[in-house]
Structure 1
Amino acid sequence: MAALCFGVAAMMGAASALGIFARGDGDAQHATSIRGEVFHYTTSGVYAFNAERVVAEGIGWDWFTLAVATPAMLAALPLLVRGSLRGRMFALGLLGYAFYQYLMYATSWAFGPLLPLFIGLYATSLAGIVWIVSTIDLGAVARALGPGFPRRRMVALCCVMALVLLGMWTQRVAVGLRSETPQLFGMTTMVVQALDLGLIVPLCLWTAVTTWRRRPVGYLLSALLVVKGFAMAAAIVAMLLSAWAIEGTPELPALIVFSLFAAMLSWLGLRMYTAAAPRIEDRHAEIVAV
């Protein structure tokens, strides 16, 4: 399990480093999509043939992955070797982040040299998620988090995140459907909106319901979501800052919202993981993992 997570960390580091340092010379060309959308796309580097705006956002996301997510995965490896329950929950959240990021990259970036790496990353991350979940005793998770678990705050934040994403993206989709030239940045469809509405919103709502009902699976989903959610929100903040630096136009509402999400999720994550009793470990799962 530690070896698999090390492989994911190595691939994340390689993919994000290539995205940052092999992005080309910044040359771009003017284009009009088949729908009539006017945009500029890059002509060199590993992200060639993508819209400038998409590349600008991707560079910010890659910086977060390289500087934060990859070291965090490496830091979890000693805990995984020891069979730590908290280590497995933490790694589960990071694998969820890697799965989402590279599934999105594989399906939204223009065809290029990093596609095989993106596919390998989301496939390996999904395999790791299934493997780790199969070794976790849900009752042990509930006992580890204990009475100090911030249940109501977690439920409230999950509901708010689901409503914000639902409101943002359904409005974006509705505007696109009414327009003859929807804002797609040269892509054929809204990949991020499809993934968020089909995966993240249901995950947030399911986590809220099961946590509110004190179901053990709710505790596990909460431990996963605070890590994945923080990483995603912080990566989006980095993405927006990168786009701001390149284009000179800030998206202040989104920047404020996702900064608040990152702050709240980091606070809840610290509450959960520091409250988890180190003495309560799933020894049977440790044997299975070995």
Structure 2
Amino acid sequence: MKHSYALNWLVPAIFILTLVAAVAGLWPGEGTPYPLTTFRGEEVTINARGLYYWDTVSSAAQMQANDLVTLVLGLPLLAISFWLTQRGSLRGRLLLAGTLGFILYTYITMTFGAHYNALFLVYVALFSLSLFVFVLVMISFDLETLPAHFSAKLPRGWIAGLLFFAAAFLTLAWLGRIAAAFAPGAVPALENTTSMFIQAMDLGLIVPVCILAGVLLLRRRPWGYLLASVGLTKFLTLGVAVSLMGLNMARVGAPISIVELGIFPIITLLNLIMAIVLLRNVQA
């Protein structure tokens, strides 16, 4: 594989830093949450304990759910996929790219969304490292020969349909939340952030990639196979994280949309099925 020497150093560094960040986020802390009115007039509850001391209870519940998924799913996938990649496995490299996509997305959100804490530079390092390693892995694929490694039995229509459904759901869910802020006197649900950065990332990046991957896969284009493969792995880990976030928010009494709480686990389950089917149809 191209750039294997660089990956031998960079992937372990990502693993160690991610482990530090996830464990630190889950480490229990003492304190009593307290109510606060933001400068926009939104009533929130500050967590006031642990690494996420200055984040709201709702935000901390989401970040800790993501830390748990990163620890028990993301890091094992990173280690296994990297080991398989080093052995020349195409399945392993596809899994590695998708797992790096999950880590990249996670620590972009932590860099710009988490209230400043002692691990800020760790988040920045993970953002930077995972971005460049993700690019290195993506450019290592031979796009001309990639489609030949997939079985003709690959259910391209079902996979594309799932990608389109995920794009449509995210679009409707996030535009609905944004539109609610347009009403006269409405207070945007920002909690301790300055803008809807998650919605911006999803609408500006994730939704277009889902649509592009689905269209190109239906047309049997090389980028369609690559983006769909990487996307299914990335969305699987992210879907598990988002589903657990909803449950954890409900556990701590934070407001959560019942629709989102129900739809995300369904998408995650379908994503798991499609990811398994896709990997089984990789001939490598």
| Correspondences of 1:172-187 after superposition (within 5 Å) | 172-178=177-183, 179-187=185-193
Question: Counterpart in 1 of 2:198?
Answer: 192
Q: Do 1:159 and 1:208's aligned partners in 2 also have CA atoms closer than 8 Å?
A: yes
Question: Counterpart in 1 of 2:169?
Answer: 164
Structure 1 residues 250 and 197, CA gap change in structure 2 (3 angstroms): closer
**How many residue pairs end up in the alignment?**
277
Q: Do 1:2 and 1:80's aligned partners in 2 also have CA atoms closer than 8 Å?
A: no
Question: Counterpart in 1 of 2:4?
Answer: none
Q: Do 2:163 and 2:211's aligned partners in 1 also have CA atoms closer than 8 Å?
A: yes
Kindly state the Cα deviation for residue 202 of structure 1 after the two structures are TM-superposed: 0.8
Q: Do 2:52 and 2:60's aligned partners in 1 also have CA atoms closer than 8 Å?
A: yes
CA distance in 2, matches of 1:194, 1:66: 26
Q: Is the aligned partner of 1:144 residue 2:164?
A: no
Q: Do 1:37 and 1:185's aligned partners in 2 also have CA atoms closer than 8 Å?
A: yes
Which of the residues 229, 245, 258 maps onto 1:252?
A: 258
One-letter amino acid of the structure 1 residue matched with residue 253 of structure 2: E
Question: Counterpart in 1 of 2:208?
Answer: 202
1:207-232 deviations in Å (ceiling 9; x for gaps): 11111111011000011011001111
Kindly state the Cα deviation for residue 146 of structure 1 after the two structures are TM-superposed: 2.1
TM-score, normalised by the number of residues in structure 1:
0.91
Q: Do 1:2 and 1:77's aligned partners in 2 also have CA atoms closer than 8 Å?
A: no
Which of the residues 235, 246, 261 maps onto 1:240?
A: 246
Which of the residues 235, 242, 247 maps onto 1:229?
A: 235
Aligned-residue sequence identity (percent) comes to: 26
Kindly state the Cα deviation for residue 96 of structure 1 after the two structures are TM-superposed: 0.4
Other structure's SS at 1:138 match: coil
Structure 1 residues 77 and 221, CA gap change in structure 2 (3 angstroms): same
Question: Counterpart in 2 of 1:274?
Answer: 280
Other structure's SS at 1:39 match: strand
Question: Counterpart in 2 of 1:283?
Answer: none
Kindly state the Cα deviation for residue 251 of structure 1 after the two structures are TM-superposed: 4.0
Other structure's SS at 1:31 match: strand
CA distance in 1, matches of 2:254, 2:36: 21
Deviates more, 1:251-260 or 1:117-126: 251-260
Q: Is the aligned partner of 1:264 residue 2:270?
A: yes
CA distance in 2, matches of 1:139, 1:264: 29
Other structure's SS at 1:48 match: coil
Q: Do 1:6 and 1:77's aligned partners in 2 also have CA atoms closer than 8 Å?
A: no
Question: Counterpart in 2 of 1:287?
Answer: none
TM-score, normalised by the number of residues in structure 2:
0.93
Other structure's SS at 1:267 match: helix
Q: Do 1:244 and 1:251's aligned partners in 2 also have CA atoms closer than 8 Å?
A: no
Q: Do 1:97 and 1:231's aligned partners in 2 also have CA atoms closer than 8 Å?
A: yes
| Correspondences of 1:1-290 after superposition (within 5 Å) | 1-22=7-28, 24-178=29-183, 179-247=185-253, 251-278=257-284
Moved beyond 3 Å, runs of 4+: 248-252
Structure 1 residues 145 and 26, CA gap change in structure 2 (3 angstroms): farther
CA distance in 1, matches of 2:128, 2:160: 30
One-letter amino acid of the structure 2 residue matched with residue 126 of structure 1: L
CA distance in 2, matches of 1:51, 1:43: 8
Gaps of at least 5 residues in structure 1 are 279-290
Gaps of at least 5 residues in structure 2 are 1-6
One-letter amino acid of the structure 1 residue matched with residue 41 of structure 2: G
Q: Do 2:57 and 2:254's aligned partners in 1 also have CA atoms closer than 8 Å?
A: no
One-letter amino acid of the structure 2 residue matched with residue 213 of structure 1: R
Other structure's SS at 1:139 match: coil
One-letter amino acid of the structure 1 residue matched with residue 213 of structure 2: T
CA distance in 1, matches of 2:89, 2:131: 20
Kindly state the Cα deviation for residue 39 of structure 1 after the two structures are TM-superposed: 0.9
Other structure's SS at 2:144 match: helix
